[in-house]
Amino acid sequence: MQPQSSSHPLAPFFQQVVRNSYEGKLGLHDPAVTGYIARLLCEFSDAENLYKVRDESGHPIEELSDLVRAADPVHGTAPSFDAERALRKHIGDYALFVGGMYPEASASPRKRRRRHSLQELILAGKESYYIVSQFNLFEYEQEAPLFARLSDGFERCLLGLTLVREELSTRKNLLPPPVN
């Protein structure tokens, strides 16, 4: 999953809100991280992208444990290490987005599904970004350090997204209602 480029119509808005929260409130001055987070918000502004990973039947994989299992190139369904990297990147993105923007989704039980806790999201996100950072050769060499920083600072990035959520909620109810 590659976050959409800055040509996304919401990109300037998200870049400003993320910078305000990460740099202004959190003191995190890392343009690569803030740019990545802004692109992630653009990507997930289309809800279909949050559940874009599909099972063999074509149904969205919504359970965190099922996503992690699918990313395993030996025992899961990932057909290659490149597919593992893409799935792990998505898991890190998913965990960061849901944990920061919709933490109440972790706390509320859903019909038919066991919800993951915030701690499970943090562990899966950190681990997934770490695994992505280990793909540090050839075409992945340049972005590997970014994923290492996202893994190492996962909780801080999560807090930054919480601050983004707070800022967005003060802007005339831009956020959808909580997930029940």
Distance separating the N- and C-terminal Cα atoms of the chain: 26
Residue 169's Cβ-count burial label (10 Å; 0-12, 13-18, 19+) is exposed
- Nearest alpha-carbon partner for 105 in 90, 92, 120: 120
| Residue 40, SS3 per DSSP | helix
User: How far is it, in rounded angstroms, from Cα 41 to Cα 64?
Assistant: 19
Predicted confidence pLDDT, tens digits, the chain (180 residues): 444 445 899 999 999 999 999 999 999 999 999 999 999 999 999 989 999 999 889 999 989 999 999 998 888 788 888 999 999 999 999 999 999 998 887 655 554 455 689 999 999 999 999 999 999 999 999 999 999 999 999 999 999 999 999 998 887 655 556 655
- For CA atoms 78, 59, 39, 156, the dihedral sign is negative
What is the H or E stretch that residue 151 is in?
helix 144-152
User: How far is it, in rounded angstroms, from Cα 55 to Cα 67?
Assistant: 9
Distance, CA of 38 to chain centre:
11
User: How far is it, in rounded angstroms, from Cα 118 to Cα 127?
Assistant: 14
Q: Report phi then psi at 26, rounded to 5.
A: -95, -20
